[in-house]
Amino acid sequence: MKQAISIVIPALAADESLEQALGSLAPELQRRAAGDQVLLVDDSGTGAVARALGPWGPAVELLEMPRNSGFGRALGAGIAAARHGLVFAMNSDVRVRPGFAEPLLSALDGAPGERVFAAVPRILLRGEEGRVESLVSLRLEGGIARAAQPLLEEAHFRRADEAWLAQNRNVPFPIGGACLLRRELFLDLGGFDPAFEPFYLEDLDLGWRAWRAGWCTRYVGAAVVEHRHRATIGARVPEQVVLQAIERNRLLFTWKHLDDPVLLEEHLRQLARRTAEARAAGDRVFLAALCLALEDRGKGIAARRAESAPGRSGFARQCRDTDPF
Amino acid sequence: MRIALAVHAFPPHEHTGVEVHVAALARELARRGEEVHVFAPRRDPRTPEFALRREPRDGATIHWLTVHGGAGSAAEHLDRAGMQQAAAEFLDRVRPDVVHFHHALTLGISALEESTRRGIPTLYTAHDYSPICHRTVLARPDLERCLRVGDSRACARCDRAVSLLNGLSRFADWQAGVLPESLAAEEREALARVLAADPDPQDADPGLELRVGLDRRRLAAFRALDLVLAPTRFLRDRLIEGGLPAERVELSLYGIEVDLLARLAPSPWAGKGARQPLVFGFLGAASKHKGLHVLLEAFEAVKGRARLAIHADSSDRDHVQALKRRAQELGAQWHGAFLPRELPRVLSGIDVVVVPSLWWENAPFVIRESFAAHRPVIASATPALAESVRDGVDGLLAAPGDARALGALLERCLAEPELVARLARAVRPPRDLADLATELLERYRGLIARRAAAVSVAPGPGRGAPRAPVPDHVRPFAARVEALESLSLDELARRAGAGLPGLAADLGLESPPLGEADLTAAALDLLDDARREIRWRAGREQDLARHLESARGALALREAELSRAAQAQLAAQEALEREVAAHAEARAALAAAAQALEASVAEARRLAGALAAAQELDRRLGDELDALRAHSRNAERAAELALEQVRAEARRRAEAARLALEELTREHASLQAHARELEADARELEADAREAEALKAALARHGEWLEREAAAFAAHFGPGPERLRSEQDFLAAHQALQRFERELEWRRAEMRGAHSDGGRLWRALLARSSLGRRMGGWDGRP
């Protein structure tokens, strides 16, 4: 018997993207005939998505957020409300390709002795073959964590061949916009950390916490979806705000998870230097992000203290081990 | 409040009216606790163009922007390349709450545009007519006042006049205006023509197109401002007339630092009984449009009875020299320029200040300073000056440029001893700078509040403005980002740096690695980096210079090579041209020859054809001739045979004749018997006989002829005449001969007929060929 999944889609509006997302899911669900659930989380805060669903209404279940809460909270609420133990988190600007679900389900079984928390499909940016968003790596750049997507860069994606892309491998975290994850574990981990609100890097943090709890994230090359990328946030939020959110969250993530005292001290030295350099070079983005992170560091630091005792350590090693490049 | 004051120049590099005013305003605003940043260009050859250097001064921060050289063109005058980026750098560094421009000269309008584009509340104080006149003074190059505001065609004429005057090399720094008397008659006429005439509308006028484009851009930049302040109603009205929105152009009277000047002792002429020589004074720029030359002419009326103190200078050196000479002639004192701090001393030595401007003078600071020092003012009677000086109350007004009228006013001051005192007593102190500062701060706050109400949460345009509304959950974070965006770079860095020690403690590091020493080390490293960068750049520059030098050398060599090659090429080309010409001739000759040859070939072909035809004909004729010859020979043989037959016949017949003759002989014997019988008759016949004898003689002669003939014939055809012995023989022979002749004649006729047949065929063939002609003489005989 096929294993049913819940597909949770947070949405701000019932727009063309959402329509395409649902349009790509419908034949897959019909083909699978596994009793899958599609749970649409209306994050408009006004019921706008629910009202504008049109012909898709009967095919989906709705969860209305009482107010606009952001991707992390909406997805978290959807996962909590999902009927099935396996949840496919899906952005409203993602389109699945036929046969996306089965390889992901298989991958969750994992190799012997390996516990897989989440399986992330091959996410193609704008549907372009080779531009894979989900083959991610985590590195320290100037002492600050940076989640890299090398295949989005021209030089790399041209070199990646199909055999390599099709191969399953461990990655540091699942992309929140499209991944199959274990509902119970997600809830046990506490879902997304609100310290990263309003958006970005909450999935990195989640994947890292899962790793600390002994679970890994698997990239699955045979499962393919397409992503319009920032069609939801980029269309509504000024670029400057998005940039600041990313930069601040890099700092928060570093402060939360960097567990090597030597690296941490190096990080602080780098921060001091970067501050002086940014002052001289007029780099307002870094300085503002640092100010924001310093203001918000309380939650992250508290979480660090809470999580520092149990679980794994070895930030740098994990970065190395999960780097597909 | 973080206030940016932008101005085209600033003390101590420049200290004329506007610059000194802005410096005083910056001091006053800083004194009130505002954060004041002055953005001002300066010429500094030690620093690269657009270098931005900070300097704290009187509580404010001056951001000196290095500019090298002036504007090279009308377009550059309006917008200097690189200035937008420099303004952006300043605004990024300071993040002012408000930007107050006091001029767009040198800065260019891209600085204005950059400020308004960022949504920063931006205002501008018009100290002259810059927003509506690219010459700033609303005066033509011949110093005629202009009232054609907003007429780009008139402005383009000014451009052309400036070009004309720039071409007259004797005016080095003519400050965009010339006195007509300094021009030769033809130059005056040319200038007048340029200033009077519009170009033919049918003609394309690139100058006009350029001017229209520049004026449009300038106007758009000024129209985008939140507020424009004008210190006189006249200027305000002109700005609105020139296209600025009336609701955003407001009157704002100048304020000056009054205190120091107010403490000056009044002029001795302000009181009673002061009878020192009256001192008229001129302060400020000695540019032509300021009218000092008019004052000097006017002063002639009172020279020797009053004094004239001139505290002025200008870069218009020729004009200044002329003024100095004239001042010396008139006994006026030329003191030259003075520093702002020297103003009280300068004014203390003057009783009446004269402002003889020729242009639409606006609101000169010198009038306010004079009034602050209780000195009355004689000024030109222009509308704006009349707003500052009340004629007959605190000053006097004379028609601008009218030296006689101005001289009359100077004379009046001397002739009416109480006049100066009365005017001085009526002088009211000008508006104080503090009052202006209060007004400006209120305006700044109003603009900031208005802007804040108008803008969304977006930090500013040009930064990826979203299409849809910002989601609610993002708003608090976006507001925080926006708040940080409004901080200056220094403040941001300070906040960030201040938070680092706390972070270290939170992260549980035993000894926080951060501190002044670390920051200092980082700063020193940066400094080292910068030094290395400079060294590298210097080295690079030297390398580049060497490369440049070597490239120049190579270029020179290459140029020489190219020059030689060009010459060789030229020679080769000429030779080639000659060769081409020769070839052309040869070709023509060849063509003619070819034509002739073609004709010859055609003729040859035609002849060959004819020859072949002739040969064919000849061959055929030959064959025919042979045939004819054979035929003729056959005919001849036939004729010979026939002749032989005729001869045989003749011989046979002659034999028969002989036989007949013998018969006749016998008959003759019988006849003789008969003769005798006839003897008798003979006698009778004797007469006849004589007659017969005569006939016989005749016949004998005829017989002899016939004999000869017959002999000849016989010699040819038969028996000789010897055979014709008797008359009968003869007669018989004769008859036979006649018969023979007839026979012969018949045969001949037959031969002729045969010949004639052959001849006819022969002639017919000949007639068909040219051979016939050649054979024309042939009579048809073979």
Which of B459, B487, B506 is nearest residue A240 as measured by Cβ atoms? B459
CA atoms of A324 and B592, how far apart (whole Å): 87
Question: Which residues are within 8 A (CB) of B301 and not within 5 positions of it... i.e. 6 or more apart?
Answer: B407, B408, B410, B411
Highest mean pLDDT among B45-59, B434-448, B639-653: B434-448
With contact defined as beta carbons under 8 Å apart, do B645 and B740 qualify?
A: no
Please list the residues that pair with B36 across neighbouring strands.
B3
Fold of B2-251: Rossmann fold (3.40.50)
- Enumerate the domain spans of chain B: 2-251, 259-430, 593-764
CB contacts of B52 in chain A (<8 Å) are none
CA atoms of B390 and B379, how far apart (whole Å): 10
- Whether residue B208 is predicted with pLDDT greater than 70 in this model: the reply is yes
Mean pLDDT of B241-257: 95
Give the model's pLDDT for residue A217.
94
**H-type alpha helices, B80-178:** 83-94, 109-117, 152-166
What residue numbers bound the domain in which A75 lies?
6-227
* 8 Å CB contact of B493 and A287: yes
With contact defined as beta carbons under 8 Å apart, do B346 and B322 qualify?
A: no
The whole-angstrom distance between A28's CA and the closest CA on chain B is 32
**E strands along B28-113, which residues?**
35-42, 52-57, 60-66, 98-101
CA atoms of A172 and A175, how far apart (whole Å): 10
A306 part of a folded domain = yes
Please list the residues that pair with A137 across neighbouring strands.
A148
Mutate to test the interface with A, among B93, B490, B492 (most CBs of A within 10 A): B492
Helix B152-166 to helix B206-223 angle (10° resolution) is 120
Give the model's pLDDT for residue B771.
46
Give the model's pLDDT for residue B427.
94
Give the model's pLDDT for residue B509.
76
Find, among A82, A119, A95, the residue nearest to A27 by Cα.
Answer: A95
Give the model's pLDDT for residue B279.
95
A94 part of a folded domain = yes
Q: A57 or A70: whose pLDDT is higher?
A: A70
With contact defined as beta carbons under 8 Å apart, do B344 and B372 qualify?
A: no
- Whether residue A85 is predicted with pLDDT greater than 90 in this model: the reply is yes
The verdict on A211 and A135 lying in the same domain is yes
The verdict on A205 and A95 lying in the same domain is yes
With contact defined as beta carbons under 8 Å apart, do A38 and A22 qualify?
A: yes
Chain A residue closest in CA terms to B466: A236
Task: Tokens for A288, please give them.
Answer: 């503002």
3-state SS, residue A147: strand
With contact defined as beta carbons under 8 Å apart, do B147 and B129 qualify?
A: no
Task: Tokens for A80, please give them.
Answer: 């909590």
Q: Do β-strands B52-57 and B60-66 pair in parallel, antiparallel, or remain unpaired?
A: antiparallel
DSSP for B322-375 reads HHHHHHHHHT-EE-----GGGHHHHHHT-SEEEE---S-----HHHHHHHHTT-
For chain B, count helices (H), then strands (E). 23, 14
With contact defined as beta carbons under 8 Å apart, do B124 and B229 qualify?
A: yes
A233 part of a folded domain = no
The verdict on A168 and A97 lying in the same domain is yes
Q: B752 or A178: whose pLDDT is higher?
A: A178
For residue B465, name the pLDDT band (cuts at 50, 70, 90): very low
The verdict on A219 and A255 lying in the same domain is no
CA atoms of A194 and B313, how far apart (whole Å): 69
Which among A196, A227, A258 is the end of a domain?
A227
CA atoms of B553 and B92, how far apart (whole Å): 44
The verdict on A144 and A181 lying in the same domain is yes
**CA B152 to mean position of chain CA atoms:** 25
3-state SS, residue B36: strand
Number of independent structural domains in chain A: 2
CA atoms of B71 and B74, how far apart (whole Å): 8
The verdict on A19 and A79 lying in the same domain is yes
For residue B176, name the pLDDT band (cuts at 50, 70, 90): low
pLDDT tens, position by position, B371-423:
999 999 999 999 999 999 999 999 999 999 999 999 999 999 999 878 999 99
3-state SS, residue B397: strand
CATH class assigned to B259-430? alpha beta
CB contacts of A67 in chain B (<8 Å) are 472-473
The verdict on A45 and A192 lying in the same domain is yes
pLDDT tens, position by position, A98-131:
999 999 999 998 777 889 999 999 999 888 888 8
The verdict on A175 and A253 lying in the same domain is no
Task: Tokens for A146, please give them.
Answer: 């940076």
CA atoms of B581 and B168, how far apart (whole Å): 51
A244 part of a folded domain = yes
Q: B507 or A61: whose pLDDT is higher?
A: A61
A67 part of a folded domain = yes
The whole-angstrom distance between B118's CA and the closest CA on chain A is 14
Mean pLDDT of B572-578: 91
* 8 Å CB contact of A282 and B466: no
- Whether residue B512 is predicted with pLDDT greater than 60 in this model: the reply is no
The verdict on A52 and A170 lying in the same domain is yes
Alpha carbons within 13 A on the beta-carbon side of B402: 15
Find, among B97, B66, B100, the residue nearest to B83 by Cα.
Answer: B66
The whole-angstrom distance between A165's CA and the closest CA on chain B is 33
A288 part of a folded domain = yes
With contact defined as beta carbons under 8 Å apart, do A202 and A192 qualify?
A: yes
3-state helix, strand, coil in chain A (%, to 5): 45, 20, 35
Give the model's pLDDT for residue B615.
86
The verdict on A269 and A125 lying in the same domain is no
Q: Report the run of H or E that residue B261 belongs to, with start and end.
A: helix B259-262
* 8 Å CB contact of B522 and A268: no
Highest mean pLDDT among B359-368, B451-460, B635-644, B702-711: B359-368
For residue A22, name the pLDDT band (cuts at 50, 70, 90): very high
Is there a shared CATH topology between the B2-251 domain and the B259-430 domain?
Answer: yes
A161 part of a folded domain = yes
Which among A199, A227, A255 is the end of a domain?
A227
Give the model's pLDDT for residue B778.
43
ipTM: 0.93
* 8 Å CB contact of A265 and B509: yes
The verdict on A36 and A161 lying in the same domain is yes
Mutate to test the interface with B, among A270, A279, A292, A296 (most CBs of B within 10 A): A279
Question: Which residues are within 8 A (CB) of A62 and not within 5 positions of it... i.e. 6 or more apart?
Answer: A39, A40, A42, A49, A50, A53
B501 at interface of A, judged by CB pairs closer than 8 A: no
Q: B441 or B204: whose pLDDT is higher?
A: B441
With contact defined as beta carbons under 8 Å apart, do A121 and A50 qualify?
A: no
Question: Which residues are within 8 A (CB) of B243 and not within 5 positions of it... i.e. 6 or more apart?
Answer: B132, B150, B219, B223
Which among A201, A227, A253 is the end of a domain?
A227
A232 part of a folded domain = no
